[in-house]
């Protein structure tokens, strides 16, 4: 588990560039719901992803955050074409792959890889580690110099595993090590884009840091672009250069890391940042704003009209119910920082004169506590 490994020759440039690798426009996925008897008919649809725009540059890491059910994983699966989009357009390296057929996709597939959340169910328990990492090369007919087995051993070393473990089975490894195997498999084809769907959320804290560091090393040194999907805002901030915040199938805010975390404009981004439990090493964090939303995310089967966040928003007005706010650059924001809100918040995360507490439960408790 050495941290000072030398890496093979770099591919492409290191760090972000302005060249676009992946471009997603108006991406939509509706899962139909069937019901009725005796003849099943389509009675509705789960609007998992609705009109999402997103770009990922060459070598750039983009974070996609949101709560469960916001469509972030579905977006990842649409981009890797594990799911068929209902609408919109996915462009990879200038090529439209939205509805590309198997054969057309084949060359692209090897360039877009995925790392899954659960290292226990994403590895075949009956295959050895060597077979697992080798199979993408076999499927794509790739013969690296020195043979596939040598490449697998190099990959194992790269991700910090012992190359001698080539013939072991996944159950002989811990969760963190399994996730390293998943990373090695994703790297086997020298991809240009990796979609990482909650790659560390199933791991323990001390192991999480090891895997985040590994991914960061891979990203920096091999110049691979990442779409990093996670619900943990701190991990995303650590890892991503740009961040998109999703709520109920929509991107509500997107921008540079610093812009999103220090100067958020969308009320939901404010609420999300405020809800993150923070380890208080000093007293600085006392000065954070405090927002407590009420209730849960509404159902994506019947999303609210207009702005989807309005049912939980403290700034909502009549306009929010009728007009859907476009994702635009609001005055005072940096270039590339787009927000979908009619009544954006102040660009600061500092404590406000009055906390926003929408939860009637908490409000009532606070009032009764105040009376004592």
Per CB under 8 A, residues contacting another protein are 1, 3, 67-68, 174, 176-177, 204-210, 212-213, 216, 231, 233-235, 237-238, 257, 261, 271-282, 284-285, 292-297, 359-362, 364-366, 368-369
Minimum distance, C-beta of residue 210 to another protein, in the bound complex (Å): 4
H, E, C per residue of 217-283: HHHHHHCCEEEEEECCHHHHHHHCCEEEEEECCEEEEEEEHHHHHHCCCCHHHHHHHHHCCCCCCCC
Report the residue number, 134 or 345, with the smaller CB distance to another protein: 345
CB of 202 to another protein, least distance (A): 10
Q: Which is nearer to another protein, 69 or 88 (CB)?
A: 69
Shortest reach from residue 161's CB to another protein, in Å: 12
Non-local CB neighbours of 278 within 8 Å, separated by 6+ positions: 285, 288
The residue among 145 and 281 lying less far from another protein, judged by its C-beta, is 281
Cβ at position 279, least distance to another protein in Å: 5
- C-alpha 195/C-alpha 185 separation (Å) is 13
Nearest to 81 by CA among 62, 95, 101, 63: 101
- Smallest distance, another protein to C-beta of residue 160, A: 10
Q: Between residues 131 and 241, which has the closer beta carbon with respect to another protein? A: 241
In sequence order, the 6+-apart residues with CB closer than 8 A to the CB of 217 are 7
Q: Which residues contact 115 (CB under 8 A, 6 or more apart)?
A: 179, 182, 183, 186, 194, 195, 196, 197, 199
Q: What is the rounded CA–CA span in Å between residue 351 and residue 368?
A: 23
**Cα diameter, the chain:** 76
Closer Cβ to another protein, 23 or 238, answer by number: 238
Which value, in Å, is the radius of gyration of the alpha carbons in the chain? 22
Q: Which is nearer to another protein, 113 or 219 (CB)?
A: 219
State which residue, 70 or 155, has the beta carbon closest to another protein. Answer: 70
Closest approach of another protein to the CB of residue 192, in Å = 22
Tokens encoding 184? 């090695």
Q: Whose CA is closest to 63, among 238, 197, 228?
A: 228
The tokens 């405090």 sit on which residue? Answer: 290
Of the candidates 222, 194, 224, 196, the one whose C-alpha atom is nearest the C-alpha of residue 112 is: 194
Distance in Å, CB of 294 to another protein, minimum = 8
Least distance to another protein, CB of residue 360, Å:
6
Query: Which is nearer to another protein, 154 or 256 (by Cβ)?
Result: 256
């Amino acid at each position: 588990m050495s941290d000072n490994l030398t890496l093979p020759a770099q591919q492409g440039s290191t760090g972000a560039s302005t060249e676009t690798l992946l471009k997603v426009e108006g991406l939509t996925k509706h899962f139909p719901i069937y019901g009725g008897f005796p003849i099943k008919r389509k009675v509705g649809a789960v609007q998992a992803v609705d009109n999402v725009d997103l770009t990922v540059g060459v070598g750039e890491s983009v974070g996609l955050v949101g709560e469960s059910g916001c469509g972030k994983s579905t977006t990842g699966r649409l981009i890797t074409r594990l799911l068929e989009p209902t609408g919109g357009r996915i462009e990879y390296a200038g090529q439209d792959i939205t509805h590309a057929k198997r054969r057309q996709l084949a060359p692209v597939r090897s360039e877009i890889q995925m790392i899954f959340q659960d290292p226990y169910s994403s590895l075949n328990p009956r295959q050895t580690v060597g077979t697992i990492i080798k199979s993408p090369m076999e499927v794509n007919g790739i013969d690296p110099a020195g043979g596939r087995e040598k490449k697998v051993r190099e990959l194992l070393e790269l991700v910090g595993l012992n190359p001698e473990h080539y013939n072991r089975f996944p159950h002989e490894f811990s969760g963190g090590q399994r996730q390293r195997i998943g990373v090695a498999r994703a790297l086997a084809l020298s991809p240009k884009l990796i979609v990482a769907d909650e790659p560390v959320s199933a791991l323990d804290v001390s192991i999480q840091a090891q895997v985040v560091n590994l991914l960061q090393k891979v990203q920096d040194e091999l110049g691979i672009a990442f779409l990093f999907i996670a619900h943990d805002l701190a991990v995303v901030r650590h890892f991503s250069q740009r961040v998109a915040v999703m709520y109920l199938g929509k991107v509500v805010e997107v921008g540079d890391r610093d812009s999103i975390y220090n100067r958020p404009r969308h009320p939901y981004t404010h609420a999300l940042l405020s809800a993150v439990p923070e380890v208080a090493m000093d007293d600085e964090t006392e000065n954070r704003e405090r927002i407590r939303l009420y209730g849960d995310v509404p159902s994506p089967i019947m999303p609210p009209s207009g702005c989807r966040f309005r049912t939980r928003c403290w700034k909502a007005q009549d306009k929010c119910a009728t007009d859907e706010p476009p994702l635009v650059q609001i005055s005072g924001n940096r270039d590339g920082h787009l927000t979908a809100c009619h009544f954006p918040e102040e660009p600061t995360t500092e404590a406000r004169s009055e906390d926003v507490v929408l939860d009637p439960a908490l409000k009532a408790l606070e009032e009764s506590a105040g009376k004592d």
